[in-house]
Amino acid sequence: MRILAVTIILLMMACTKRLDVQTPSLAVSLDAARLVADTFVYKLGDTTKFMFSGNAANIAFYAGDAGHAYDNRNRNLALGTTILSFTSKAEYGTQTNTLQLLATNKLNGLDSASVVNAAWTDITDKAALASSATEVNSGTINLGGLVSNENDSLFIAFKYSGITGTTQKTWTITNFLVSNVLPDLSYTLSSLSMDISYWTRYGNVWNPANARWTPTTTQLRIIGGGGASPSNTSWIVSKPLYVGRVAPDVSIALKSINNPDLTGYNYKYTAEGTYKATFVTFNNTVEKQETVVQQFYIKVTP
């Protein structure tokens, strides 16, 4: 029994030693000749050379430029400016005012009654629309006045109206894009290729099928009827667009535990500005992690 007890104690000591994690010893430095006050200064086009001494099992690098900011690593909500743009063309017939562009942040459901009775804001006059088969870019449409916080949702609708008696217009919408534009980055909230399965359509004429909107990955299209066709009101409505949603910024993985040690890392910033470059080094096991964060201010000048 005494031998068994000693064996158990030795095994416990071995496990404790095996799970011990040392603090990373990797130190990062830059060319001291570049240092002005607390900032390292480089010309646009220069290579920023980070030099390493010591070691760490894992090294992650946040350059501080768009999409790679350490301070935004946990960010998933941030309301910038909600921007809409698209391209349109209107073919055939002479009917006018057949297309309306609408938006709302108060849609109680996607059934036809909820859509028709919703408090839509008519933003048609904010867009440049085609009057012929020549494609026209809508321009940048600022939807910021329709949302107030990062948790708001927004719906975009195109409402088509064709009247019996003359040839009805055929409308084609391409390059549809809704973005959350932040000072450092733009996040796509909706595009035709992303949302092919999420458009909702309504109308009072369903035969032939061309009398309603048809969404694809490249366009939204509705084919107007001939002069004898009945009047047609047709809607196509986007999915709810959560205007403040963003993707967290990510790091560049420089080294994992299975990789050899590095002596440094080179990075070239592509725009002028001041950046906070951050190295996160860590050693870990399943049960424990030791982390060291080192940060440097980098200024890129013309």
Rounded to 5 degrees, what angle do the CA atoms 69, 72, 77 make? 145
Residue type, 194: M
d(CA 298, CA 279): 13
Phi/psi for 47 (5° steps) reads -100, 125
Cβ atoms of 84 and 141 within 8 Å: the answer is yes
Please tell me whether the peptide bond between 24 and the residue prior to it is cis, using omega within 30 degrees of 0: no
Could you tell me what percent of the chain has a pLDDT over 90? 82
Rounded Cα distance, 132 and 136, in Å: 9
User: Could you tell me which residues come within 8 angstroms of residue 173 by beta carbon, excluding any fewer than 6 positions away?
Assistant: 86, 87, 88, 158, 219, 220, 221
Collect the ranges in the chain with pLDDT lower than 70: 1-19, 205-210
Query: Concatenated DSSP letters for 139-190?
Result: --EE-GGG--STT-EEEEEEEEEE-TTSPPPEEEEEEEEEEEE-SS-EEEEE
75 neighbors 248 (Cβ within 8 angstroms):
yes
How many Cα atoms are found within 13 Å in the side-chain-facing hemisphere of 77? 6
Handedness of CA 106, 108, 109, 114 (dihedral sign): negative
CB count in 10 Å sphere of residue 291 = 14
Q: What is the pLDDT of residue 208?
A: 62
pLDDT of residue 8: 42
Amino acid identity, position 89: K
Report which secondary-structure segment, H or E, holds 12.
Answer: helix 2-18
Are 138 and 84 spatial neighbours (Cβ–Cβ below 8 Å)? yes
Place of tokens 């906070």: 276
Q: Which two tokens stand for residue 212?
A: 């309603």
Answer for the pair 266, 48: CB distance below 8 angstroms, yes or no.
Answer: yes
Provide the whole-model pTM.
Answer: 0.82
Q: Which helix (H) or strand (E) holds 300?
A: strand 289-301
Contact 237, 157 (CB under 8 A): yes
∠ CA 69-75-79 to the nearest 5 degrees? 105
- Distance separating alpha carbons of residues 55 and 113, to the nearest angstrom: 65
Q: Cβ(270)–Cβ(41) under 8 Å? A: no
